[in-house]
Amino acid sequence: MSSSSPPSISLIVPAYNEEKRIGETVRALSAYLESRHPDSELLIVCDGCKDRTAEVARQSFVGQTIGFKVLEVVPNQGKGNAVREGMLAAGGQYLFFTDADLSFAPEVLEDFLQGLLDGADIVIAQRKKETQYPSLARRFIATGSRWLIGNLILPGIRDTQAGFKGFKSACAKDLFAVVKIKRFLFDLEVLLLGRTRGYRIEKVYVDWVDRPGSTVHVVYDTARSLRDLLLILFYLFTGQYGPGKKSQS
């Protein structure tokens, strides 16, 4: 990528203690971007990592020519904050984030990019119906939360938590400048705020693979997510996000 021209695509990967998986992820994503979008950049955001995630990420990128950054956030604050830091630091025209476990194939980026080119401000992944969680508890919680969100909170969007989303730059900068939730429910916050501000949201149905090694604690993180949901609704209805650029236009 020429240092004189901004990247067309920024791909952000939040990571927490991912030294065992980040190498494969960096190699796969950078090779794909190199072949299809050479004027792009890859940003790895280490969220207070206590292992060698940042070092392994840098070592795994050797030989590529796209833009590359490793941002180290200290202390650990959560996935939402890591994505926010990446979005605000990104220089691309189209900004994407995906999970560090490669649960989505790099090729799905093309469908998301096309959605943005066709006029959407935000394009989000929706995991296909045949997706099955490995545990009964996760399956039950996922089913219940999708019903609640898709019918009452964000009608028409059942899967807010799928870890691949794309934004036009102006939209991303507007939304991520004001988000307040730092952990898992930031996806819902961003989408609810985006809809409130009038941004066009489109969905892409994708295959998803549940990789081993998740740091999600079913009971603890579910309780925290319920608390964050109440906070999001409180912030929204008390006007604490402000009007936003889209609302003012």
Q: 130-172, pLDDT tens digit by residue? A: 555 555 656 655 666 666 676 667 888 988 988 999 999 999 9
* Count of beta carbons in the 10 Å neighbourhood of residue 151: 11
Residue 240 CA to residue 243 CA, distance in Å, equals 9
**pLDDT value for 213:** 55
- For the chain, give the longest Cα–Cα distance: 52
**pLDDT value for 225:** 76
Q: What are phi and psi of 79, to 5 degrees?
A: -60, -40
Residues 204 and 115 sit within 8 Å (Cβ to Cβ): yes
Q: Which stretches in the chain have pLDDT values below 50?
A: 2
**pLDDT value for 224:** 77
Q: What is the pTM of this model?
A: 0.89
What does the domain layout of the chain look like in residue ranges?
A: 9-244
Q: How is domain 9-244 classified at the CATH fold level?
A: Spore Coat Polysaccharide Biosynthesis Protein SpsA; Chain A (3.90.550)
